Structure 1
Amino acid sequence: MRSDCLFQELASTHHSDWLILSADLAVGGPLKHRAVPPSNVGVFTSLIENLGVKDIQFEELLTLDPSELLALQPVYGVIFLFKYPTDKPYATPDGPLDGTFDEAASEKLFFAAQTIQNACATQALLSVLLNQTGDAATTTTTTTTDGADSHKVDIGEKLRDFRDFTMVLPPEFRGEALSNSDLIREVHNSFARSNPFSDETQRDPNAETEDAFHFVAYTPVGGTLYELDGLQPAPIAHGAR
């Protein structure tokens, strides 16, 4: 799936802060940051490096214009930070407000129920990474039917073992396995004081004026753009692109 199609689909989604997960483009230039929350890009890149991921970094997404984003290819996914709605449901039992629940998709992609407090940012990162890995131990490149290069991420041996082990489990047990992973817990806790890794959905009920924020992941799998949010019952499909 080409990145321009990915961004055209995402452009119709509401406002907010976006981080894209792309191939390592760093050649000495400084990373850009915005105020809410601070240092996401650098913190996220450091966290995935500590998890064993190679040659991948985060970039802040300042525009959804596909013509200005070609230099960022390959793009593996987008992390969306948004104000979590407290006055209306984000989804209903009948389905999400946008897209459709795809219960069967959990069998072919990594989707985990969020069972860890203070971890929706880390889970969003893993939702992209664990769905963009190939069978080879290194980042590989293949050619898709539309001529675009399809890059696979080297997530490292430990994360590959974790993915292989959990893919046979249902989403709720994947979430439990994630919470019980020594590697993920230790790396997450080492960044726990950074703002992006606070729990955006857990808030003091008495703090009525406090905004709640949440991270979700968007990533293409098998030609379909999926929204992966561990607070939802299933992956949300946004159509083939």
Structure 2
Amino acid sequence: MDDRGAWSTVAADPGIFTELLKEMGVLGVQVQELYSLDPEELAPIVPIYGLILLFKWRPDPVGPDAPIPSVRSMLASVAAEEENRTPDIFFASQVINNACGTQALLSVVMNMEENDEGTFSLGPELTAFREFTADFDPHLKGLAVINSEIIRAAHKNLSSHPHGVNERTRTNENDESIYHFISYVPRGGKVYELDGLRPSPILLQDGYEGAWTDVVTRLIQKRIEEYSAGEIRLSLLAVTRNRRDQLTNDITLVDERIAMLLESEDTATEDEIQQLQARSKNLRKQIEVENANTVRWRKENIRRKFNYSPFMIELLKLLASKGDLNRMIHAAHSKQNRDSASQGLSR
């Protein structure tokens, strides 16, 4: 990826997305993959600042779910876009290939609302960027994104090797798969869908009670059911508070409560102390898991960025020079034929 040309893809992996945010200066958050939208499954990871849906787009240029709007729909939306312009929402159009994942992340973190607990920090660079682009229209914001040094450098550092797979990949000569990201965020008591290939944000609901994620759960589940029926690959990610920060804070609160109870002469507190000590032990085990995940993510990120092509080419040359390559290819073909025959008999 050069400074102004096409960008290389960033894999939709929680570890990569978390590191990408960190490299852009965002602190106190992380990205987690979700396997369920049940309230019981979401409760342990609140607060959830945003959701990101990755799916294999089905070409339907005139349908309601088409990420690329038709010319007619774009012209028809101009008046509505001006009328419903939301200056308090950061929304950038996607103006370059393979930037979709990074822009989906930005759509979430740029719209995170400050809270009294100070559990996250957008960082000085992105804070200044948000202020600088506040009055830009979506297209200008998109251009500003791809020309931002910190965003471009972070994306480049975490992107796959150029020989990897892009957001737009061919599975055969006659088929092209396009993967797309859509973000869902709460902002000012409202819930929005942010799709960089649409002309403007989509207001899903003005006002809500309870968790904001309840508003988008039905919509996302409907999409999942539709895409799953067509064997379309998809993934759901959540941008949440950093788990280690949250667990550390919980441990501090539990330990302070234990210390207070130990000073009490009330024997009735012994059961509560034992329960709190067990909780403290469990929280520390969870931190160990998070630490292990961080180490694993770092190793995986290094492997993804490494170019193995020269090594593989030299290995194949060495095998060929010793006469082993043809033998290995023949053995692999023979095994494949045996496996195919075995599967045919089992039917």
TM-score (norm 1): 0.68
Counterpart of 1:55, as a letter, is G
Cα distance 1:38–1:130, how it changes in 2: closer, same or farther (>3 A)?
A: closer
Cα distance 1:155–1:132, how it changes in 2: closer, same or farther (>3 A)?
A: same
- In structure 1, what is the equivalent of residue 19 of structure 2? 46
Superposition deviation, residue 185 in structure 1: 0.5
Secondary structure at the counterpart of residue 106 of structure 1: coil
Determine the C-alpha separation between the residues in 2 that align with 1:207 and 1:228.
32
- In structure 1, what is the equivalent of residue 190 of structure 2? 224
Counterpart of 1:179, as a letter, is I
Is the contact between residue 119 and residue 199 of structure 1 (CA under 8 Å) also seen in structure 2? no
Cα distance 1:198–1:159, how it changes in 2: closer, same or farther (>3 A)?
A: farther
Q: Superposition pairs for residues 68-147 of structure 1, below 5 Å?
A: 68-89=41-62, 90=66, 91=69, 93-94=72-73, 103=82, 104-134=84-114, 140-141=115-116
Q: Superposition pairs for residues 161-200 of structure 1, below 5 Å?
A: 161-193=128-160, 199-200=166-167
Deviations 1:191-223 (A, max 9, x none): 12179x9652x4569843332110111101112
Aligned alpha-carbon RMSD (Å): 2.8
Determine the C-alpha separation between the residues in 1 that align with 2:53 and 2:11.
15
Deviations 1:156-189 (A, max 9, x none): 0000000000011111111111111011001101
What 5-or-longer segments of structure 2 have no aligned partner?
1-9, 75-79, 209-347
Counterpart of 2:125, as a letter, is K
Determine the C-alpha separation between the residues in 2 that align with 1:38 and 1:214.
12
More helix by percentage: 2
Cα distance 1:221–1:130, how it changes in 2: closer, same or farther (>3 A)?
A: same
Determine the C-alpha separation between the residues in 2 that align with 1:102 and 1:65.
34
- In structure 1, what is the equivalent of residue 287 of structure 2? none
What 5-or-longer segments of structure 1 have no aligned partner?
1-36, 96-100, 135-139, 143-150
- In structure 1, what is the equivalent of residue 203 of structure 2? 237
Q: Give the aligned length.
A: 185
Cα distance 1:74–1:102, how it changes in 2: closer, same or farther (>3 A)?
A: farther
Is the contact between residue 129 and residue 153 of structure 1 (CA under 8 Å) also seen in structure 2? no
Counterpart of 2:187, as a letter, is V
Deviations 1:15-56 (A, max 9, x none): xxxxxxxxxxxxxxxxxxxxxx97611000000011111110
- In structure 1, what is the equivalent of residue 175 of structure 2? 209
Superposition deviation, residue 64 in structure 1: 1.0
Determine the C-alpha separation between the residues in 2 that align with 1:123 and 1:69.
24
Percent same amino acid at aligned positions?
Answer: 38
Is the contact between residue 76 and residue 128 of structure 1 (CA under 8 Å) also seen in structure 2? yes
Determine the C-alpha separation between the residues in 1 that align with 2:28 and 2:47.
12
Larger radius of gyration: 2
Determine the C-alpha separation between the residues in 2 that align with 1:230 and 1:70.
29
- In structure 1, what is the equivalent of residue 319 of structure 2? none
- In structure 2, what is the equivalent of residue 156 of structure 1? 123
Counterpart of 1:180, as a letter, is N
Determine the C-alpha separation between the residues in 2 that align with 1:108 and 1:232.
18
Deviations 1:109-133 (A, max 9, x none): 1001111221000000000000014
Secondary structure at the counterpart of residue 212 of structure 1: strand
